[in-house]
Amino acid sequence: MAFPVPVDVFFFRLNEQDEDDVDTVVQPDVAVVCDKTRIRPRGIWGAPDFVVEILSPSTSRKDLSEKFALYQRFGVKEYWVIDPPGRWLQQYLLGEDGLYASEVTFETKGTLICRTLPGFTVEVESLWTSLLW
């Protein structure tokens, strides 16, 4: 299931089943969850499988540092960062070591293949030409 904004993602200190143990709450621009048991009335409980953040002047620092570290720490399998004014997209994949590796950077064009969602691809150029930023 894909979720556009706003949807809360709840990360836990210890036990994902204990709603009193929430450590951090974030609202990614897009979140995809494959495990439906993570979806609850108030939002997504635990790490989504795939997250997209679209940078803006007011959020870029947080998206590139705080959220990057959080998504990595809690096991978001794939994280895309999109910078519309700069016309670039960065794809991060979580390695077996629990750390993100930068898979691909596109500046203006090319086909980006989502590793977490088989069959999902994005023509990067369409991001800059068909969407209003």
Domain count, the chain: 1
What residue type is 106 in one-letter code? Answer: F
With H, G, I as helix, E, B as strand and everything else as coil, classify residue 107. Answer: coil
Count of beta carbons in the 10 Å neighbourhood of residue 30? 17
pLDDT at residue number 21: 65
**pLDDT for 16-61, tens place per residue?**
555 666 678 899 999 999 999 888 888 898 899 999 999 988 989 9
Least confident stretch, 2-6, 97-101, 104-108, 111-115: 2-6
With H, G, I as helix, E, B as strand and everything else as coil, classify residue 78. Answer: strand
pLDDT at residue number 15: 55
With H, G, I as helix, E, B as strand and everything else as coil, classify residue 8. Answer: coil
Count of beta carbons in the 10 Å neighbourhood of residue 32? 21
CATH number, domain with residue 123 = 3.90.1570.10
Sign of the torsion formed by the C-alpha atoms of 35, 38, 42 and 48: negative
CA distance 15 to 9: 15
How far from 121 is each of 40, 89, 110, CA to CA, in Å?
28, 13, 10
pTM of the predicted protein model: 0.87
Domain carrying residue 53: 2-129
Q: How many CA atoms lie within 13 A of 125 on its CB side?
A: 3
